[in-house]
Structure 1
Amino acid sequence: MANGSRHAAWEFFGAELKRRRENAGITQAELGSRVFVSGGYIGQFEQAIRKPQLDVAQRIDEALQTDGIFERLWRKLIKEQPYTEYFAHAAELERLATEICEFAPMVIPGLLQTRTYARAIFLANQPLAADEYVEELLKGRMDRTRLLADATRPVYWAVLHEAVLRVPVGGPMVMAHQLDHIAQLVRERKLVLQVLPFAAGAHPDMGKMMKLMEFEDAPPTVYAEAVFSGRLLDETAVVKRVRASYDLIRAAALSPEASLALIESAAEDHRRCVSTT
């Protein structure tokens, strides 16, 4: 399903939600209270600004007694989008965010990945995958990276652990090209980037990827990922704790200038590995 038709389908989801809510004679705030989100969120679902998570769609069906229609619509729309089910909502929110802060402990964040690096990651996870399937995954990943080329791109601040720079994903040349790509984005001022060096030692939430997203007209959200699963969290206390952890990591990281120098040095190290083999 193309992006335009997929958005139109979500608009239908929202219009149907509004129609059924109004027919039931309840306000957005009342429905929100019944399904444990704010009335403002219900309004954003109805306008196709944000997409509900599956459990919210299921609770809407219960509250409005709609015989599972919103769950079925959700499953149909999520199935036909280019991302894994658990990441689909986070990908949608990236496009709406005014600011994204991300910490990557082991892998280059998706927004910064080159095609060859992303392909190596996908094949490492699914070595027997058909070429057509891998190409579909790559298209979704590369579509995401265009966000940083957009004139209305969010403020993007990434912190990479030094381990991310050293593991030769896809081989030394793929890794050198990947680091060159990041360095170029930094020089073009598309993002603020820092590296957390090995010398920093222990850090908050070791080994855990974190992504914080801020929005113009919605509460901030955290996306946290584990093995083949991911969660969006917008509880105020949780977001506050994650923000504090991110701030500690950022404070322990190298300056942007020193980080760029380390990235360029790591790229040269990978190139030297090729020349000596």
Structure 2
Amino acid sequence: MTRGGVRCMGRGRGRPAAIVDGTQSPRHYWGSELARLREEAGLTQQELAAKFPIDSSHLHRLEHATRKPPDLEFVEVLDEFVMGRGHLVKTYKMVLRLEAGAKYADYFAEALALEPTADRIDWYGGSIVPGLLQTEGYVRALTVAAHPFWTAEKVEKTVDDRIRRAAVLHRSTPLQMLAILDEAALRRPVGGRQVMVEQLDHIAELASDGLAVVQVLPYEVGAFPLLDGQMIIYRFVNDPPLVYTEGSVSGQLVEEKSEVDESILMYDLTRGQALPPSESLAFIVDAIKEHQGNV
């Protein structure tokens, strides 16, 4: 046991793996409990994985919350192998209840759980500012527009939850945030001109402070690979990347390597058409002035 988490043994006996930090999210807590019970049972990741039709790398990802169990039956069998006496099952049901109560679309919940673990996120948000860069006023305007029949209390809960997520940009080991902003996301006065001034000021400040690398994709580019949707790439130190894609009313987490590779290529091609960071910052400043002139 180590302070703040569990140091799990790696895929071969005697080789330490990374610490499993159970404080980052409900899924991280469950993963840290799996690691703890496995170690107390005297099993390495490789030995436990051999009891399943999975490899040790998949078990490693379960413990570090970059993958989720396929179903509750899988968790029940896992609990038996590590002699959890039902503990893994109870805590996993708790995770499911907490995620069910979250104010996010079901199809985004799984991707959302990856934010605290990711070491780097590449984000193209289409005509919307990426979520981790959004301000309160901007989030509120988007939420009211998408859910006009929600109560004010429900709207504010959504705003608070979204803003709280941005804490990953300020953690002790900061997230590497790279964003592509479509010019449409800069020009459309979401929430009004003053809200957009505050939003773009916030983005410019994050970029200037080195908390995010921002590139603008101007209208003059024309067609580009990600024109018809949004994409987020989650990158990890010890695990392969995952990709989340989203349309207007649906989204999916992509895990298959060939599809992940193709998605990353599409993202890289799009980024190659965007302005360099320094020119992008100047572009954002010009957009701020434009909005200020119309307040």
TM tier, smaller: 0.7 to 0.9
Q: Distance in 2 between matches of 1:231 and 1:133?
A: 25
State the one-letter code of the partner of 1:94: E
Q: 1:232 aligns with which of 253, 258, 261?
A: 253
Q: 1:29 aligns with which of 34, 38, 49?
A: 49
**TM-aligned CA distance change 1:64 to 1:193, over 3 Å:** closer
Question: Any runs of at least 4 consecutive aligned residues in structure 1 with deviations exceeding 3 A, and if so which?
Answer: 3-9, 11-19, 51-54, 61-66, 69-74, 80-84
Contact 1:9–1:77, Cα closer than 8 Å, also in 2 = no
Contact 1:32–1:39, Cα closer than 8 Å, also in 2 = no
Q: Secondary structure at the match of 2:173?
A: coil
Match of 2:71 in 1: 57
Q: Deviations over 1:183-236 (max 9, x none)?
A: 111111111111011001100031211111110111111011223332221221
Contact 1:28–1:40, Cα closer than 8 Å, also in 2 = no
Mean Cα deviation higher: 231-240 or 118-127: 231-240
Gaps of 5+ in 1: none
Q: 1:77 aligns with which of 98, 105, 108?
A: 98
Match of 1:39 in 2: 56
Q: Secondary structure at the match of 2:228?
A: coil
Shift of 1:74: 4.8
Gaps of 5+ in 2: 1-22, 81-88
**TM-aligned CA distance change 1:14 to 1:258, over 3 Å:** same
The answer to whether the aligner puts 1:10 opposite 2:26 as a matched pair is no
Q: Distance in 1 between matches of 2:95 and 2:50?
A: 22
Q: Distance in 1 between matches of 2:212 and 2:174?
A: 10
Q: Secondary structure at the match of 1:153?
A: coil
**TM-aligned CA distance change 1:186 to 1:253, over 3 Å:** same
Q: Which structure exhibits the higher relative contact order, with contacts defined as CA atoms closer than 8 Å and separated by 6 or more residues? A: 1
Match of 2:215 in 1: 194
**TM-aligned CA distance change 1:205 to 1:73, over 3 Å:** same
Pairwise mapping of residues 54-203 of structure 1 onto structure 2 (< 5 A)?
56-58=70-72, 60=74, 72-203=93-224
Identity %: 34
TM-score normalised according to structure 1 size = 0.82
Mean Cα deviation higher: 139-148 or 87-96: 87-96
Q: Secondary structure at the match of 2:163?
A: helix
Q: Distance in 2 between matches of 1:91 and 1:217?
A: 19
More helix by share: 1
State the one-letter code of the partner of 1:190: L
State the one-letter code of the partner of 2:194: M
Contact 1:101–1:156, Cα closer than 8 Å, also in 2 = yes
Q: Distance in 2 between matches of 1:251 and 1:9?
A: 38
Q: Secondary structure at the match of 1:258?
A: helix
State the one-letter code of the partner of 1:265: D
RMSD, matched Cα: 3.1
**TM-aligned CA distance change 1:152 to 1:109, over 3 Å:** same
Count of residue pairs the alignment pairs up: 263
Contact 1:28–1:43, Cα closer than 8 Å, also in 2 = no
